[in-house]
Amino acid sequence: MNSLADQLLVLCLLINFAVLGTSRLAFSVRSVAVQGVLLGVLPALVHPFSWHLAFIVVSIILVKGGLIPVLIIRAIKKAEIEREFSPFIGYIPSLVLGALFTSLAFIFAAKLPLAPEHEGLLVVPAAAATLMSGFLVLMGRRKAISQVLGYLLMENGIFLFGLLLADAMPVMVEAGALLDLLVGIFVMGIVINHISREFSSIDTSRLSALREE
Amino acid sequence: MMWALVLLPLLGAALTWLVPDNRRRAWVLPVVSLAHLAITAALIAEAPAASPGGWILLDALGKLVLAGNSVLFTVCSLYAVGYLAYRLKRPNRVLCASLLVCLSATSLVAISHHLGLLWIALEATTLTMAPLIYFNHNARSIEATWKYLLICSVGIAIALLGLFFLAYSTIVARQEVTLLLPTLINNAAGLHPGWRHAAFIFLLVGFGSKMGLAPLHTWKPDAYGEAPGLVGALLAGGLVNCALLALLRVYQIAVASTEGALFQEVLLVMGLVSMAFAAVFMARQSDFKRMLAYSSVEHVGIITVALGLGHGALFAGLLHMINNSLTKGVLFLSCGNIHRAYNSKSTQFVRGAIRRTPWSGALFMAAFLAITGSPPFAPFVSEFLIVSSAFGQGNHVTGALFLLFLALIFIGMASTVLPVVLGEVPKDLERTRYRDAFPTVFPPLILMGIVLVLGVWIPEPLRVLLHDAAALLGGEA
Amino acid sequence: MLFFDMMRDPAFLVLCAIVLAGCSGLPGLFLRHGTLGQRLASVAALTSSLLALPSILYLLLGGGEASFTLNWNLPFGPCEVALDPLSLFFLIPIFLIFPAGSLYALGYWPAKSQASEKSVTFFYGLLACAMAMVVVARNGFLFMMSWEVMALSGYFLLVAEHGEKEVRSAGIVYLVASHLGGAALTALFASLFWITGSFSFPAPHSLAVAGGVTSTLFLLALAGFGSKAGMMPLHLWLPSAHANAPSHVSALLSGVMLKVGIYGLLRVISFVSERPLWWGALLASVGLTSALAGICVASAQKDIKRLLAYSSIENLGIITTGIGLFLLGEGSGNPRLAFLGLAAALFHVLNHAIFKPLLFFCAGSVMHAAGTRDLDRMGGLARRLPFTAFFALCGSIAICGLPPFNGFASEMLLYLGFFGEARSAVPFVALGAPVLAMVGGVAVIAFVKLYGIAFLGEPRTEAAAKGHEAPVTMLAPIGLLAALSLLGGLFPPVFMALVQPALRALAPDTGLVSALPVPPVWFAVAGGSVIILAAVLYLFLQGRVKGRQASGPTWGCGYLRPSPRIQYTGSSFGAFFSSLSGALIRTRLHVDPVTGLAPSAARLSYAPEETLLHRVVLPFLNIAGVACAFLRRLQHGEVQIYILYIFATLMLLLLWVH
Amino acid sequence: MIDTIFHMALVLAMPPLLLGVIGKTKAAFAGRVGAPFLQPYYDMGRLMQKGIVLSDSTTWVFRAGPVVTLAATLFASLLVPLGRHAAPISFEGDMILFAYLFALGRFFTTTAALDTASSFEGMGAAREVTFSCLAEPTLFFALITLTRLSGTMSLTPMLQHVTLPVWLATGAALILLLAGLFVVVLAENCRIPFDDPNTHLELTMIHEVMVLDHSGPYFCCILYGAALKLYLLGALFVNIALPFSSGNGFLDWGIFACGMLGLAVAIGVVESVMARLRLIRVPQLLVAALILTAFSLVLVVR
């Protein structure tokens, strides 16, 4: 089974690169959504069945694969934009950096031992790499929506790691985390609406009035 | 009983949502908060046992934070009544509701003994604060809100990963997998060092960005600058303490584990760096609300330095936590008044506040002196304790740097505050409705009184509480 | 019953007086009408000093000591308050000048702006109380607390008229300086805590640790207390602060608060058992430097209160020199020198506490009369304010250290100390005598200028011509102080009696030379006979010229239409000496250029500038400000960059721990 | 007792004579007969007969000036030993009192000058105080040197300690010291090259210009006080310059008186052969004197 899990993890990594490389927002939203679904599936592969596991799987798939993408897509529709213009970090550089960070992630993972039952799983590097790609998007993109995506990517990375503890963690924590994530995205969506109303664009580079002269 | 702390404000929030009228709605706040204060007092008087499963427990640290927040929130809600009376045009349903939700979340932070729960509550406070910062509904406030939301969410996410690391380290160490604080503390020594290190760093960065340790503080000036005065007070006095409490939980584990020293070293450096940042950004600051934000960065730094020093400094650090939040309350409320009276927060327009708003001006002055560590106010006591314990441990470099930064910050702050308070009121000034009145002056006055009293006499219960809390952190009482 | 027993205890009375002084201004805060509050405050002040002074003298002369432990629960160990000779000695000026000032304020303040009167009344009492607490405190924290309260109330008094920009900037400079000093002191007491493990003061001569440590302590104390005592070059805050405060406040600030700095220095020195010789050398040189430089700058001032402020720097320099001689004498096993130095220092503390407030009070009355602080706009006030003029003359003579007033007695002791060293193997110390002589000479310049320009000659402005004598509430304290300074000059033993106990407490081993080398009778003889001779001569001459007096205008050397403006002004009086003393004294000139064939009216204005402040410190601060402004770019608004900070921090910390 | 009477007699009677001698000497140099030796006495007597004219702008300070100055100088005259005879009053540190009494006199003279509201007198006062505060250190250096030589801090033993053997031992130092003292004597008494008592160009004067407005008996006081001051400082000088002591007391009085007259002649010579210095040069000369006395101290220490 682990081999299959590993392949899925590699798929996650690839999705990171897809998000890093594209300028089309809708596409990156969908890929993040796919990553979310994979996140949902993975625990089912790694851990033996249990109701609580099932609950987690379902809820993750629902939230990350369904609710959040819908929310964001709607926001995109409202703001009438479909691509990212002139990011701080270009697409090629961000791909290169992504590769760099991924290798960093593997080094990082090598330093930390895994529990025997997780030996040979790519979870830690995948998680770290996804986290850092999330950071990369957050740092690199101008549009508020892309930053939300970056945040989602980070969260995905964290949940990737979380699946190592899926059966150990109490339901409540997972659920609460998910809920918080959901609400957070929801609030962000609202704010984005307000931004687009205030500035007639959701270009965060406009949001630099508050600074020290 | 303890659930009441969390549920009561939620009920209040629901109530505020139902009340149709702006003016009456504001009155819900003081009622609820006073009840909350009463419950808090009762709980501190005799601490109830842990909840089944031990997720909910009110220990000395929790009591400190809870008490501080409850008092501060009560004062702020009293102030809110007077304040909202000036802002009747703006709908305040969201404001009142989220204030109360925030109160319940902070209470949950204080009483939760399970790190996961703690994290959830903390994230909740982050989210509820967003609409408060956005209260003024203008371009600047939305920018501030966006930055606050993004940075704090990122930070809190990192903290979550840190928690996962911690949990996983228990798995690696073949212990029972849990995020329950007592268990973690007991097994801390056994945790796998690599994972433990990573966990501590992630948690520090995560909670640090919520606390506003430099250079993770970048959201602070914007949020504090744009939010209304009382929201600023809650941010700087209440939420900072919640994040700090989370950090303190980590600290407990770190101290219990073998390498408390390393963690303390990191804290020391972070604290000093924050003070240095504050000193630099304080100089020639022309916006006195942003200045307060940097002052908050400074004081978070001071507390962190105290944690880094450990031993006797812990008592001082905890005392400073309380002092800071109370004094910050006075500062934000009074400077909110001044802001209303001049309709500007830039030093080039705001002059001679002592003439135009005598009470707020005087309070602002007094609170400035207090926060910069001048007797007979409380922060002087705690800062003096921290310095002397720094020197007392023979850690002279820290002590000297500490004093140096304090002096620089004093200079910077004085050159901003004094012109605002003293001097003649500029002639060409747009006329504003606000003048000092009882409802907006009395609340900060109470806080100032408390700060003054704590400066010369620490009540016995508080002293005991501080000692117990310090003991929890491994400082000798 | 118990209460009455306690009231019989003089030490307890002193504490009561301190508390009373602190509360003296309280009722004024709540009274609608300020003058009533001031009246109550004055009454309270007088009562407090009537309680305190007799008890202090009783304890001091009776050799009594007392210590109390206040009950507090701050975590700084027992809060001890004690009255030993040193404290008692330094309490005297406080309880002498505080009531005098508040009596003076009764007449002085109502004429000034009513706006901040209440706060002044309140903080004036608080200042006195805080100074007294500093002097009696035996616990590091209590000391620092009272110290800071003292500094702050000083600040609030100083910015009483904060409407004026000059006052505000003076206030900021003062506040910053005293905060820096406070930081040094905090470090000092924290280090003491590190050494002794408690915040209570160590017993005298009990501190025996490595030389480096004690020297650090000493330097910290010098930085902290020296800046408060206005030693050069830490004096920057002093002149403008004392010039801009209300006069009775300036009197208290410069007459007493500076001495508190000296007290602190002496106290810290008394802890240490082993005192290196270079401490004394350093103190002596610092003292002589600030005495000379201070009086030179003073001689160039045109602002009457600035002049007085700089002369405070001079006098504090003299005191410091005395302490320096004391340490030198002790270090080199020369009890005579030690005795003379310390005696001179303590004696001069008393003297300066008498004649400086006297002069500040007079300056206040003069400012009332002439409506300005600018000497060059005064003149001819002696005819308008005969009493003030007379007392000012006494003060000026006294502060120049001339017989028959008290300034002479203390400087005499210092001279004897210096001359005594002339006989030693390497008479470096003796070289202080010519410097002191120079200081005396320049002091004559400064105060002849102050007195002559302000009070004598013709009024230079209408305001000065229409001056009015001060009310009796203002004259009474002035007269009292003048009488005291004459007393001290004619009968030095009276003051020495107060100095002796403190002296013995500080330097037990100087007990064997505890008598003045000069038979004190000569002071009385010299002063008395000069006065009597003068009186006799005067009467004789008046007899000769009786009925043969004519009067006319001053001979204008053939100049027909003299105007008051052609008189020698203060600036021109000091200009000749300033031209000799070079870079130390710069004068800023503002000249409107005179252009064209028929030039329009042009102005020329001039003011002596504080060289160190304007040429060194302020530019440096500006550079620092610019540097900070550059660093502030870090916070430049792009949220992406902020996230980068987080990421970078995370990575760095991870690298650190791994 | 008898010594005291002699002392008083000399001090009170002799000073004007010095002025006479100086005048005569200058006259002789100028090839004139000159005023009689006793001329100053006549002048003072006549002044005592006159009434006074007071400026409208003066106060009591104006009259107190000469009086206090004279009183201070008179008391100072009790501190200086004349020749080998002890001073009537002598105690540790009396030399400081001596110096400070002159300072007191200066204080009052200058304030009195400022009291007249005349710009010239103000100018004179400014110069007076400035120069004397440069002359003061010189005097004190000299006193340090003497203290070191004699080991006492009182004028009488200090000056009487200077005897021939001492001269032989430390001649060089004493010569430097005398040179310095001589400059001080000239400066303090406003003689050429510092000030010209005879000129009447106000701008160049120091002492004379300060007393322009005094008249009658008060002016007499001033003249007499000035003469007395010259006499006392001169006495310091002569005490060191003439270390001889014939066993006989009366002879000593004579020697001293001759010494004083000699000094007067010397001053007269200087005044005749030298021109008055420009004001700017005066401080330089005073500093030079200071350096001389400093050197004398160095020589003694070595």
What are A123-143's pLDDT values in tens digits? Answer: 889 999 999 999 999 998 888
Q: Is C202 exposed, middle or buried (0-12, 13-18, 19+ CB in 10 A)?
A: middle
State the Cα–Cα distance between residues C400 and C318, nearest whole angstrom: 12
**pTM for this predicted structure:** 0.93
Q: What is the dihedral of CA D111, D113, D116, D117, to 10 degrees?
A: -80
ipTM of the predicted structure? 0.91
Residue C195 is assigned to a structural domain of this protein:
no
3-state SS, one letter per residue, for B116-166:
HHHHHHHHHHHHHHHHHHHHHCCHHHHHHHHHHHHHHHHHHHHHHHHHHHH
Which of B197-206, C271-280, C311-320, C629-638 shows the lowest mean pLDDT across its residues? C629-638
Query: Which two tokens mark B87?
Result: 């802002």
Q: Is residue A211 part of a domain?
A: no
Distance of CA D47 to the CA centre of its chain: 22
Residue of B nearest to C182 (CA): B407
Q: Does B235 map to a domain?
A: no
Q: Which of B109, B169, B171, B285 to mutate to test the interface with A (most CBs of A within 10 A)?
A: B171
Q: Is the pLDDT of residue C3 over 70?
A: no
- Residue D68 CB neighbours (<10 A): 28
Instruction: Identify whether residues C651 and C571 lie together within a single domain.
Output: no
On whether residue B286 sits in a domain, the answer given is yes
Q: Give the model confidence (pLDDT) of A186-210 as tens digits.
A: 788 778 878 777 777 767 777 777 7
- Asked if residue B331 belongs to a domain, the reply is yes
Q: B288-292, B319-323, C406-410, C597-601: lowest mean pLDDT where?
A: C597-601
Q: How far apart are CA C548 and CA B201, in angstroms?
A: 101
Residues of C in contact with A108 (CB under 8 A): 654
How is residue B56 annotated by DSSP?
B
Q: What is the largest CA-CA distance in chain A?
A: 58
Contacts of B125 (CB under 8 A, 6+ apart): B102, B105, B106, B109, B239, B242
pLDDT at D226: 93
Mean pLDDT of C565-583: 84
- What would the 3-class secondary structure string for C60-80 be? HHHCCCEEEEECCCCCCCCEE
Question: Which residue's entry shows tokens 């000159």?
Answer: D34
Query: Judging by DSSP bridges, how do beta strands D52-55 and C549-552 pair with one another?
Result: parallel
Q: C1 pLDDT exceeds 60?
A: no
Residue A144 has pLDDT above 80, yes or no: yes
**Smallest Cα–Cα separation from B267: which of B215, B209, B213?**
B213
Question: Distance from A171 to chain B by nearest Cα, in Å?
Answer: 11
Which of the residue ranges B120-129, C216-225, D186-195 would you say has the lowest mean pLDDT?
A: D186-195
CA torsion B47→B51→B56→B62, rounded to 10°?
A: 10
Encoding tokens for residue C528?
Answer: 């008395």
Subunits in contact with chain D (3 or more CB pairs closer than 8 Å): C
Q: Is C1 helix (H, G, I), strand (E, B) or coil?
A: coil
Per-residue DSSP letters for chain A? -HHHHHHHHHHHHHHHHHHHH--BHHHHHHHHHHHHHHHHHHHHHHS---HHHHHHHHHHIIIIIIIHHHHHHHHHHHHT--B--S-SS-HHHHHHHHHHHHHHHHHHHHHSPPPGGGTT--HHHHHHHHHHHHHHHHHH--BHHHHHHHHHHHHHHHHHHHGGGTTTS-HHHHHHHHHHHHHHHHHHHHHHHHHHHHHSS-BGGG---S---
Contacts of A204 in chain C (CB under 8 A): 638-640
Alpha carbon B206 to chain centroid distance? 16
Tokens 């990212």: give the residue: A84
Give contacts of A141 with chain C, Cβ < 8 Å: 640
Helix (H) or strand (E) holding C39: helix C34-62
From residue C105, alpha-carbon distances to C35, C362, C647 in Å are 10, 12, 63
Average pLDDT of span C174-185: 93
Cα–Cα distance list, B339 to B12, B336, B433 (Å): 29, 5, 12
Backbone angles phi, psi at C8, to 5 degrees: -80, -15
Q: What confidence score (pLDDT) does residue D261 get? A: 94
What's the rounded mean pLDDT across residues D264-286?
89
- The DSSP string of C314-367 is HHHHHHHHHHHHHHHHHHTT-HHHHHHHHHHHHHHHHHHHHHHHHHHHHHHHHH
Burial C489-505 (b: 16+ CB within 10 A, else e): bbbbbebbebbbbbbeb
Give the residue on B whose Cα is nearest the Cα of A211: B222
> Mind listing the pLDDT tens digit for each residue in A60-70?
888 888 888 88
Name residue C80's beta-bridge partners.
Answer: C69
Q: Which residues of chain B have pLDDT under 70?
A: 475-477
Round the average pLDDT of chain C to a whole number and report it: 88
Is 70 exceeded by the pLDDT of residue D281?
A: yes
Which CB contacts under 8 angstroms, 24+ apart, belong to D186-189?
A: D186/D267, D186/D270, D187/D131, D187/D132, D187/D135, D187/D282, D187/D285, D187/D286, D187/D289, D188/D102, D188/D132, D188/D135, D188/D229, D188/D233, D189/D226, D189/D229, D189/D230, D189/D233
The per-residue pLDDT for range C439-484, each reduced to its tens digit, is 999 999 999 999 999 999 888 888 888 888 888 888 999 999 999 9
Report the residue of D119, D156, D209 to disrupt the C interface, i.e. the one with the largest count of C CBs within 10 Å.
D119
Say if CB C577 and CB D130 are below 8 A apart: yes
Task: Say what angle helices B288-309 and B378-392 make with each other, to 10 degrees.
Answer: 40
Contact C303, C387 (CB under 8 A): no
pLDDT score, position B315: 93
Q: Does D214 touch chain C (CB under 8 A)?
A: no
User: What would the 3-class secondary structure string for C522-554 be?
Assistant: HHHHHHHHHHHHHHHHHHHHHHHHCCCEEEECC
Chains that touch A (3 or more CB pairs under 8 A): B, C
pLDDT top residue among C277 and C117: C277
Does the CB of C560 have a partner CB in chain D at under 8 Å? no
Please answer yes or no on whether C643 and A210 come within 8 Å at the CB atom: no
* From C632, C634, C638, residue closest to A208, measured CB to CB: C638
Q: Is residue B54 part of a domain?
A: no
pLDDT digits (tens, 9 = 90+) for C315-346: 999 999 999 999 999 888 888 899 999 999 99
**Residue-range definition of the domain harbouring residue A13:** 2-206
- CA-to-CA separations, C627 to B283, B404, B456, C631, C633, in angstroms, rounded: 10, 17, 39, 6, 11
Is residue B376 in some structural domain?
yes
Cα-Cα-Cα-Cα dihedral of B122, B128, B131, B135, to 10°? -90
Q: How many domains does chain A contain in total?
A: 1
Q: pLDDT category, C97, cuts 50, 70, 90?
A: very high
- Cis-peptide into B9, omega within 30 deg: no
Q: Say how far apart CA A211 and CA C633 lie, in whole Å.
A: 8
| Burial class for D166, CB neighbours closer than 10 Å (0-12, 13-18, 19+) | middle
Exposure letters C255-281 (e unless 16+ CB within 10 A, then b): bbbbbbbbbbbbbbbbbbeebeeebbb
- How many structural domains does chain B have? 1
Can you tell me the mean pLDDT for C556-570?
Answer: 79
pLDDT band at C358 (very low <50, low <70, confident <90, very high): very high
Tell me if chain A has a CB within 8 Å of the CB of C644: yes
pLDDT in tens, D118-147: 888 888 899 999 999 889 999 999 999 999
The per-residue pLDDT for range B162-182, each reduced to its tens digit, is 998 988 888 888 888 888 888
Q: How far apart are CA D190 and CA B460, in angstroms?
A: 78
pLDDT bracket for residue C114 (50, 70, 90): low
Full domain range(s) for residue C466: 275-539+567-588+604-609
Q: Evaluate whether C373 touches C305 at the Cβ level (below 8 Å).
A: yes
Which among B321, B215, B304 has a CA at the least distance from the CA of B263? B304
Distance CA C43, CA B365 (A): 30
CB within 8 Å: B205 and C73 = no
In a domain, A213, yes or no: no
Question: Are D151 and C549 inside 8 Å of each other by CB?
Answer: no
Find residues 526-555 of chain C whose CB sits inside 8 Å of chain D.
Answer: 526, 529-531, 533-534, 537-538, 541, 544-545, 547-555
B477 lies in some domain: yes
C631 touches chain B (CB under 8 A): yes
Rounded to whole angstroms, what are the CA distances from A121 to A7, A39, A156, D32, D155?
A: 10, 14, 17, 128, 105
Domain housing B445:
259-477
Q: In the structure encoding, which two tokens stand for residue C301, read together?
A: 């001032």
- State how far the Cα of C270 lies from the Cα of C279, in Å rounded to an integer: 13
Q: Tell me the C-alpha distance between C130 and C94, whole Å.
A: 10
**Of the candidates B419, B396, B373, the residue with the CA atom closest to the CA atom of residue C147:** B373
Answer whether residue C305 shows pLDDT above 80: yes
3-state helix, strand, coil in chain D (%, to 5): 75, 0, 25
Chain B interface includes A109 (CB < 8 A): no
Domain annotation covers residue B252: no
C625: chain A residues, CB-CB within 8 Å: none
Predicted confidence (pLDDT) per residue in D46-104, tens digit: 999 998 999 888 899 999 999 999 999 999 999 999 888 889 999 988 999 999 999 99
CB contact under 8 A, C635 and B281: yes
Tokens for C309, please give them.
Answer: 């402020």
DSSP annotation of C371: S
Neighbour tally for B47: CB within 10 Å:
14
**Cα-flanking dihedrals φ and ψ of residue D53, to 5°?**
-115, 120
Assess whether the previous peptide bond of D197 is cis (omega < 30° from 0).
Answer: no
Across C415-437, average pLDDT: 88
Q: Which residues contact C550 (CB under 8 A, 6 or more apart)?
A: D51, D52, D53, D54
CB-nearest to A180 from B124, B140, B146 is B124
Contact C445 D133 (CB under 8 A): yes
d(CA C583, CA C270): 38
Mean pLDDT, chain A, integer: 83
| Half-sphere exposure of residue C428: CA atoms within 13 angstroms, side-chain side | 8
Highest mean pLDDT: which range of B160-174, B322-336, C192-206, C231-245: B322-336
Q: Is C148 in Cβ contact with B380 (below 8 Å)?
A: yes
**C115 pLDDT higher than 60:** no
pLDDT for C571 beyond 70: yes
Task: Tell me what pLDDT residue B477 has.
Answer: 42
Cis peptide before B215 (omega within 30 of 0): yes
Is C199 an 8 Å CB contact of chain B? Answer: yes
